[in-house]
Amino acid sequence: MAFELPALPYPNNALEPHMSARTLDFHHGKHHQAYVTNLNNLVKDSPMASQSLEQIIKATAKDESKAGIFNNAAQVWNHTFFWNSMKPNGGGTPSGTVVERINAAFGGFDKFKEQFKQAGATQFGSGWAWLVLDGGQLKVTKTPNAVNPMAQGQTALLTCDVWEHAYYLDYQNRRPDFIQTFLDKLVNWEFVASNLSKAG
Ligand SMILES: [Fe+2]
C-alpha cells in the first residue's frame, strides 16, 4: 500500500486572505505531493513500504545513510501536521487547559507568541517552528529542513512551516509577518488541545 497525499482539511481558498489558494495549490498539490512521490519511490520493494510514517521517521532519524528516506517521510508527516495546525477563522487566544498550560510554561500567552515568532523568524534557511511537549514540559522549538519533534523524542502540538515555499507568494520575504498572521488568524487551537490531551 503506497503512501498517499491526504486531502486538505478545508477547501484550498478557505484560509484567504491570510494564505492564498495559489499558495495552497503549490504547497499541498506540488511540494507535499512531491514528498509523497519521492518517499514511495525510495521505499518501494523494501520492508519500509509496509510501515507507518512514524515508524519510518523514528527508524531513519539517526541514520545518515537513510537521510533521503527520513527527509521525505518527515516532510510528508510535517505537512499533514501543518495543514491540521490551521483552520479558517483560527488564531487568537485558546481556552481551557491549553491556555493554562501555555501561561504556566511561558509566563503568559503574549510571551509564548513572542517565543514562537522568534523561533520561526530566526530559523536560518528552511525549517519549522513548533510547540512541543518535552518530558511533560511545553516548549517552543525550531528545527531545520525536515527534522521534527518525533525524531527527537518530543511530542508535537503545533507547527508553522517556515520554508520560503510556505509564504513567498503571499508575503515575499516578510517571514515574521507570515508567522504573526499564522498566530493571529490561522492557528487551530482545538487541534493543539486534542494533541495535548492525547499526550496526557
Ligand atoms: Fe512546506
- For 120-159, what is each residue's pLDDT tens digit? 999 999 999 999 999 999 999 999 999 999 988 999 999 9
pLDDT at 77: 98
Residue 68: other Cβ atoms inside 10 A: 13
CA of 100 to the centre of ligand 1 (A): 30
Average pLDDT over residues 62-83: 97
pLDDT beyond 70 at 86: yes
CA of 47 to the centre of ligand 1 (A): 27
Residues of the chain with pLDDT > 70: what percent?
99
Distance CA 5, CA 94 (A): 29
CA of 163 to the centre of ligand 1 (A): 6
CA of 27 to the centre of ligand 1 (A): 6
pLDDT at 1: 67
8 Å CB contact between 41 and 72: no
Q: In 3D, which of 194, 117, 100, 109 has the Cα closest to residue 156?
A: 194
pLDDT at 151: 87
CA of 107 to the centre of ligand 1 (A): 30
CA of 96 to the centre of ligand 1 (A): 30
Q: Looking at residue 6, what DSSP letter applies?
A: P
Cell numbers 485558546 correspond to what residue?
94
Q: Taking CA 53 as the corner, what is the angle to CA 129 and CA 45, rounded to the nearest 5 degrees?
A: 140
CA of 31 to the centre of ligand 1 (A): 7
CA of 161 to the centre of ligand 1 (A): 6
CA of 111 to the centre of ligand 1 (A): 26
Those residues with Cβ within 8 angstroms of residue 150's Cβ, 6 or more apart along the chain or in another chain: 54, 57, 58, 61, 74, 77, 156
pLDDT beyond 90 at 93: yes
Distance CA 20, CA 13 (A): 6
Q: What is the dihedral of CA 178, 183, 189, 195, to 10 degrees?
A: 70
pLDDT beyond 90 at 107: yes
pLDDT at 104: 97
From residue 23, alpha-carbon distances to 29, 30, 88, 94, 168 in Å are 9, 10, 15, 26, 8
pLDDT beyond 90 at 200: no
pLDDT at 130: 98
Average pLDDT over residues 9-14: 98
Distance CA 128, CA 143 (A): 5
- For 35-50, what is each residue's pLDDT tens digit? 999 999 999 999 999 9
CA of 22 to the centre of ligand 1 (A): 14
